[in-house]
Structure 1
Amino acid sequence: MSRSGIVNVRMVITEEKIISNIDKIQKLINPNNKKQIIQLEEDTYFKDLIESVKSYIIEYPKKKNFPSSVYNAAYSLVETSIKQFEENTKKVENLIKQREQNIILAGELTDLINAVNSKEEGWKDKVEAASSKFSEDIIENLGVVGRCKGKTSQRYQDAMKILNAKVTNLESNLYIEIDMERLEDSSRALSYIGIEVSDALKLIPAPEEIENVVDTQEVQNVNVENVATTEVQKTNVTKSDKNEAENIQVANANIPASDE
């Protein structure tokens, strides 16, 4: 086997490996993959995958001959990263709004607990009005507290425990904070892909661009040929007209004058 043949085989193997690494990155950043949380500062495996793709792109010897399969896979990875980053941003914005709403609800629930606990006038109407904001379980326990004559019964204490726990959860926004942290970790990883891989791809001419350049050159060549042909035809027509005019002048000169 020739030396060039060996090199080609190695390039194919490397190409397949890079595409495989890109596929692994796609799986890691897949939003449906809830088991995998990428912590960019600590995840060396993720960084090594990105570095392998980046190095392959930068160190590829002949950029014009860069494998289209790798280019398309890397380009798709960048597109996916950008799209998911934008989606993460929207999700974080929604979580922030939900967190603010939860804090407001915590204050409203605290006021309701105080109202039913002190048997405030109209407490039943207030609980009824809040039924659209809180779950059936919360509304029911508010009613239990309001109907209890004393504060020593087990039923009263159980109801207050549930209500106070709900207030604490609304104020702390524990699950929202966890979701936001997960999204922020994901966004950092997506941003890292965008910076590293996207910048490296700028060194490679896109396959579509190469085809467009070829097509443009062909069109230009055809146009040049057409223009040249047209100019020749115009020149021939001009020469023909000139010769014809000269012949007419000579013929007129040879016609004898009439005797009138």
Structure 2
Amino acid sequence: MSRSGIVNVRMVITEEKILSNIDKVQKMINPKSKKQIVQLDEDSYFKDLVESIKTYLQEYPKKKNFPSSVYNAAYGLVEFATNQFEENTKQIEELIRQREKNISLGAELKGYLEIVQNKEKNWKEKIKDAQENFGEDIIESLSIIGRCRSKKSENYQSAQKLINARIGNLESNLHIEIDMERIEDRSKALSYIGIEIADALKEIPVPAEEVKEAPVQAVEEVAEEYVPETFEVKPSLWQRFKNSKFVRAIKYVMSIRVVLDLPALPEGKTEN
């Protein structure tokens, strides 16, 4: 009886399971997904999925015969994580700029408040400049403070309370700090994928691509119109990861020290 058609059922099931786990992980780090990681340290399900993928990559018996479907899916997962990490970097940079702008606006608004409180000469003309950066509610409140003769009046107190609240919001940047923490948590999960999966993936030879032979006539026709092309090897995904500005941005804003020692992804793929 021929054994050529026999399939290792256990390995097929495992391969399908790992492909399913890779898909689950990718959905969990997808910013458009409803089920996202909140905190890496508390998400054991996510860690278990990543660990199962890592174990499969490391313990596969014959690396030369490693299934290309799993290799490509794992490589794609790391690439997707890298792209998301770089997108997080851009968001961090934008939040830094917004934070610095808010602090500057808070100081500017303080200056306008002092002008109207002290009833400085031409204060009405001076607060017109505030219209460029502040809304009508702020301009109106500044005008009320400038016009009021008594600091104990209800209108004066209400207007000053609104101005001080706005200054406090601009200086504290609470909403930005919350966004920063969320992005940091997502990026921890993304780096976890790189550390665990990319390190295991680099030990596996790149599966040979299947190439179909074209008819001789078709090859000759292509040869007549052949134009030399330049191919650039795709840079290591995790070299991009390590070079990201995200670490410096987090350190700058959150005053924390992050050290990443990430393995390079195998340089197996090329792109035109």
TM-score range, shorter-chain basis?
A: 0.7 to 0.9
| Structure 2 counterpart of 1:13 | 13
Match of 1:172 in 2: 172
2: distance between equivalents of 1:3 and 1:38?
49
**Corresponding residue for residue 47 of structure 2:** 47
Task: Look up the equivalent residue of 1:19 and give its one-letter code.
Answer: L
How far 1:34 sits from its partner (Å)? 6.8
Aligned to 2:73: 73
Equivalent residue number for residue 248 of structure 1: none
Which amino acid in 2 is paired with 1:198? A
Amino acid at match of 1:61: P
Alpha-carbon contact 1:28-1:38 (below 8 Å) kept: no
Q: Which moved more, 1:68-77 or 1:49-58?
A: 68-77
User: What letter matches 2:202 in structure 1?
Assistant: K
- Answer yes or no: is the 8 Å Cα contact 2:15–2:70 preserved in 1: yes
**Contact residue 78 and residue 193 of structure 1 kept, 8 A:** yes
The two structures have a TM-score, normalised by structure 1, of 0.74
How is 1:201-212 mapped onto 2 (pairs within 5 angstroms)? 201-207=201-207, 210-211=208-209
Q: 1:39 is matched by which residue type in structure 2?
A: Q
How far 1:185 moved relative to its partner?
Answer: 1.2
Change (3 A) 1:147 1:4: farther
More helix by share: 1
Q: Which residue of 2 aligns with 1:154?
A: 154
- Go from structure 1 to structure 2 and tell me whether the alpha carbon gap of 1:138 and 1:37 turns closer, same or farther (over 3 Å shift): farther
Shift of 1:35: 6.2
Compute the TM-score of the two structures, normalised by the length of structure 2.
0.71
- Give the drift of 1:97: 1.9
Counterpart mapping for 1:171-250 below 5 A: 171-207=171-207, 210-211=208-209
Deviation by residue 1:119-144 (Cα, 9 ceiling, x = unmatched): 21122222211211112222222222
Identity of aligned residues (%): 66
Alpha-carbon distance change, 35 to 128 in structure 1, aligned in 2, over 3 angstroms: farther
In the aligned structure 2, how far is the partner of 1:4 from the partner of 1:200? 31
Query: Highest CA radius of gyration, 1 or 2?
Result: 1
Q: Name the CA distance, whole Å, in 1 between partners of 2:35 and 2:61.
A: 39
Note the residue ranges of structure 1 that are not aligned, 5 or more in a row: 216-260
How many pairs were matched up?
211
Give the gaps of 5 or more residues in structure 2: 213-272
Q: Which residue in 1 is equivalent to 2:241?
A: none
1:129 partner amino acid: D
Letter in 1 for 2:22: I
